[in-house]
Amino acid sequence: METKSENASFGGVQGVYAHASEATGTDMTFGLFLPEEARFGPVPILWYLSGLTCTHENAMTKAGAQQFAAEYGIAICFPDTSPRGEGVADDDSFDMGQGASYYVNSTQDPWAKHFRMWDYVTEELPRLIGQEFAVDLDRQAITGHSMGGHGALTIGMGLGSERFASISAFSPMCRTMDSDWGTRQLGLYLGDDREAWRKHDASEVMRERGFDGPVLVDTGTADQFWDKLKPGALAGAMADARQQGSFRLQPGYDHSYFFVSTFIEDHIRFHAEALYG
């Protein structure tokens, strides 16, 4: 593992690190904020999955999360959104290929060689961080924005409360199986069998299994991608599943990091309550 940078932040350290990934077969970069408490022993960790076109850097620099993570004594990891580099498959559109993994393990060429982000985020990166940093992997929570909100929900529910104490999402893609942000992409990554797509549709997973723990979802009423995100599908699925949690529509907010930074304190406090009991 290579240390790219480390900066003091709110009494803790915001680092950027790179390593050779077995899951993706590429070098991967991630950001990790460690609060001051990590100097004395392992702290809980919150995973933040970013959206389309983002790298590890977007949320790390724009969400304003470090201040509140420091207040509550929580580490935050900011993984990249996809494998990158020479020889990695890509697409001319912004919503497919590099920067747009949808956090799936692809089974179709040319994507299957490197696009194994489910395994990277759920297995390889936690293992590496647990080995290298003062992080308590028995206390994990997950959140994300847009495509990352989709990933947080599907991964969080997929692995369940045995892995995560809580799940939250900002403006998540809620219904990928019949959306402009999902149908083409899941078909190319996973093939024509729509049954294989189901575990990567947050509304389907919510309706089928839900989550044995608290869930918090925020979406802005002025979100310019409302028709692609399909928030009504997830709200209905949460109601049908009688899911413990909150689905909040925030008046006047759009899809940007101005929205995320406005409500990031709420989300970190929500996760702190679950992580610390």
Active site residues: 146, 223, 255
Burial code of 55-89, b = ≥16 C-beta within 10 A, e = fewer?
bbebbbebbbbbebbbebbbbbbbbbbbbbeeebb
Cβ-contact 37, 269 below 8 angstroms: no
Which parts of 85-198 are beta strand (E)? 135-144, 164-170
Among 155, 148, 174, residue whose Cα is nearest residue 49: 148
Cβ-contact 61, 9 below 8 angstroms: no
| Torsion angles phi and psi, residue 248, rounded to 5 | -115, 135
Token pair in block for residue 219: 């979406």
Cβ-contact 66, 14 below 8 angstroms: yes
Q: How many Cβ atoms from other residues are within 10 Å of residue 11's Cβ?
A: 13
